[in-house]
Structure 1
């Protein structure tokens, strides 16, 4: 990310452009980075501060939404795991019931002399 700032500064000096660059990595724990060209700082200092504040607010909103999404996905995953465990238990019970009924059927067939197939 520092390279972005260095390159922005070079472009600003070479072109004398009004330049503003801001970036935030989604997994970063620190603050976002930004660069404002000297020309832009001189001409529009207050507007530049406002742009930085707006970007900061936008990044905060994005990070909060990302955390919220992660929490919701975690809850959904936990609910799915719980539901899966319940369904697996139901399947085990049904398999046991089928085995018992198969055994009872085999017993009746044996009692009646019916060939097993």
Structure 2
């Protein structure tokens, strides 16, 4: 996507993200690419992607998980263009909250799978 500054991901974030993928593999989640970033995909639909040391989860803007994720320190709506046009269903959760990543990955899987 033009304008999106690809942030390099530190090794610890890459490892944590790969562990999320491994945990969800039994549900049919595979590693893929979205916006040129490593992503977790279900049936060719992205549910999470790694952006620098943050993971962006597709949680659905009306869900309790979305509200909870946005309340975390440093969490923001995902704005890949950097032009104040965020994707309302997507929340970027920082590495400092990585202990929460597995729960959000499962919530994103449920959302992308249709409930």
TM-score (norm 2): 0.22
**Higher RCO (Cα < 8 Å, 6 or more apart):** 2
Q: Which one has a bigger Cα radius of gyration?
A: 1
Give the structure with the higher percent strand. 2
Give the structure with the higher percent helix. 1
TM-score (norm 1): 0.22
